[in-house]
A and B are shown apart, each in its own frame.
Chain A
Amino acid sequence: MTRTREWLYAWLLLLPAATLLALFTHYPAIANLWHSFYSTPRGSRPVTFIGLDNYRALIDDPIFWQALSNNLWYALGTIPLSIALALLMAVWVNGHLPGRGFLRLAYFTPTVLPMIAVANIWLFFYTPGYGLLEQVTGLFGLPSHNWLGSRSTALPALMVVTVWKEAGFFMIFYLAALQSMSPHLADVAAIEGASRSYFFRRVTLPLLMPTTLFVLVNAVINAFRVVDHIVVMTRGGPDNATALLLYYIFEIGFRFWDSSYAAALTMVLLTLLAAAAILQFAFLERRTHYQ
């Protein structure tokens, strides 16, 4: 093949995917910025250029700040815990515990279920009065508590659901990494007299670093991307205590139909995700330098 024919061929192969990607990923990201500078069309009122008005409104919007801080707490509360549990699960399932098959199934099953179905199940679980949780706390003589209905416990209650759903998913990646590790390492360490915990800290954990990074990036994205359970369980309430950023965008965009303000809010979310991308890139760069 001549060079130009090869170029042409490659571009033709890429064309269908590139078109769709441009239309539904790159264009909307840019159009989003554009639309955030214009007013929302309402009835007969025409769209006007309003500059940074949406962003000024955003700075003065207490619910936006609440959603942002909720989201950060949500990320902080779910990510380290689900990663730690995932690692623990992977180590256990990789070892020779009795009932390994059952345990792997138990840990992983929540991952396959739709978040919306999971949310329904947990909604029932948390129901004041006769949900399972109330029954258990009742056995210990604790007073009844509306877990999803009070400001202080609603977000933590949602975090539990997220950790429950995600830990098994991340476990798989750790399991894959553990299984690709040479068993000789453990043998050598045992001969050298290293304890199991020492071996884990000094050999296993460092070798799992790339996996941890990969899982971490996924966990961060998910913390900002998945709000299905909020739609089902709390609708952002009570009093916006569980409004996450994307959920707030959804409310503004599709309940109040203020698409231009929703566009400004989306820009904040995109900026956060881009920051995560840059951080990941920096980390990956460093990793390749080591090799």
Chain B
Amino acid sequence: MITATGVQASYRISRSLETLGAWVLGILWVMPLFYAFWTAFHPPAFSTHFTPGAPVTLQNFVKAWQAAPFARYFVNTVILVTMVLAAQLVLVTLAAYAFARFRFPGRDVVFALVLVQLMIMPDVLIVENYRTMTALGIKDTILSIGLPYMASAFGIFLLRQTFKTVPRELDEAARVEGCSPLQTLWKVYVPLARPTYIAYALVSISYHWNNFLWPLIITNSVESRPVTVGLQVFSATDQGIDWSIISAATLMTTGPLLIAFLLFQRQFVQSFMRAGIR
């Protein structure tokens, strides 16, 4: 009896310690974000003074918006993300279908060659890809930012796994009814892989919205820069160290993604989970 209550007490203590730890970590994790929010929504005088009741203002956002062509940067990013995703969905679907349901000589070798991209991503091949873009004459365009990412090994892998789980009977039934392989793909495989498509789309959108180094290298003008590069150009050159405006600009560029994430939190998390389970 005594030992039982002792066990229970120690259990309760360890539980509360865990709760405490989890919350300390959670607060540590949101602190930098909270700080950025505070600075962006208050006048510069309050940017480092946490006075309750400090006046709230949107002036920093207005100044940031006027100081750099952010509208154009947003348009560029939206074009980039849409273009990359559209191309990826088509290319990845076709390739995954070939790997999942066709037999042809050299299939395993080609598949291994595709998987090479999981390790050696376009992110590290910047020197040569810059050379290629120069040779193709499309440097400093939105197309040149997206092109290296359009054939995505990750997407092919993910979708191939999904397509393999589609029962062969459905495939055969469609063929019996006279569907061509492409019609079968469109009518049987694509609808059944919907959750995978959503997961992949969310991962792809956040990846390309956030991508920075390659766009920084390949773009050189307002007409092609995505928001990430625009933000860097803005905070590195235009503004000395006006943290209120830089924080506002930072939140602004991440805003759409952050709002989307907060609204569709569950789907986001589940998508990342699904994409991670191989």
Contacts and interface: CB of A to CB of B under 8 A. Distances in A.
Contact of B110 (A18, A24, A173, A253): A18
A249 B126 contact: yes
A162 interface: no
B29 A107 contact: yes
A21 B126 contact: no
Nearest to A24: B148
Interface residues of B, number: 93
Given A121-B33, A125-B35, A227-B213, A172 B273 contact: yes
A17 B26 contact: no
Interface stretch (A27-35, A58-66, A74-82): A27-35
Contacts of A97: 18-19, 22
Interface in A190-234: 196, 214, 221, 224-228, 231-232
B210 A176 contact: no
A17 to B, nearest CB: 4
B119 A274 contact: yes
Contacts of B130: 253-254
Interface in B95-133: 95, 97-99, 102-105, 107, 110, 113-114, 116-132
Given A112-B206, A269-B124, A26 B116 contact: yes
Interface string A245-263: 0100110011000010011
B261 interface: yes
Interface residues of A, number: 93
Interface stretch (B55-63, B66-74, B247-255): B247-255
B217 A168 contact: no
User: Which has the most chain B C-beta neighbours within 10 Å: A113, A132, A250?
Assistant: A113
A104 interface: yes
User: Which has the most chain A C-beta neighbours within 10 Å: B39, B156, B231, B262?
Assistant: B231
Nearest to B244: A124
A122 interface: yes
Interface in A1-31: 1, 6-7, 9-11, 13-14, 16-21, 23-29, 31
Contacts of A102: 26
Contacts of A169: 272
Nearest to B14: A196
B211 to A, nearest CB: 8
Nearest to B91: A17
B127 A253 contact: yes
Contacts of B236: 232
Interface in B216-260: 216-217, 228, 231-232, 235-236, 241, 243, 246-247, 250-251, 253-254, 257-258
B191 interface: no
Contacts of B276: 172-173, 176, 214
Contact of B217 (A6, A120, A254): A254
B65 interface: no
Contacts of B39: 124
A8 to B, nearest CB: 9
Given A21-B114, A31-B128, A32-B125, A116 B26 contact: no
A interface, by DSSP: helix, strand, loop or mixed?
helix
B36 interface: yes
A172 B248 CA distance: 29
Nearest to B272: A172
Contacts of B92: 17
A80 B27 CA distance: 22
Contacts of B241: 127
Contacts of A23: 132
Contacts of B97: 13
A75 to B, nearest CB: 15
A47 interface: no
A92 interface: yes
Contacts of B33: 109-110, 121
A52 interface: no
Given A6-B104, A24-B122, A114-B209, 7 more contacts: A10-B104, A17-B92, A116-B232, A124-B246, A132-B32, A173-B277, A225-B124
Interface of A: 1, 6-7, 9-11, 13-14, 16-21, 23-29, 31-32, 35, 85, 88-89, 92-93, 95, 97-99, 102-118, 120-122, 124-125, 127, 130-132, 135, 164, 168-169, 172-173, 175-176, 180, 196, 214, 221, 224-228, 231-232, 246, 249-250, 253-254, 259, 262-263, 266, 269-270, 273-274, 276-277
29 contacts: A1-B181, A6-B102, A9-B102, A16-B151, A17-B92, A18-B95, A18-B151, A20-B91, A24-B125, A24-B147, A25-B125, A26-B116, A29-B116, A88-B25, A93-B22, A102-B26, A104-B269, A106-B29, A107-B29, A112-B206, A114-B254, A121-B35, A131-B48, A132-B48, A173-B276, A176-B277, A228-B228, A231-B212, A266-B128
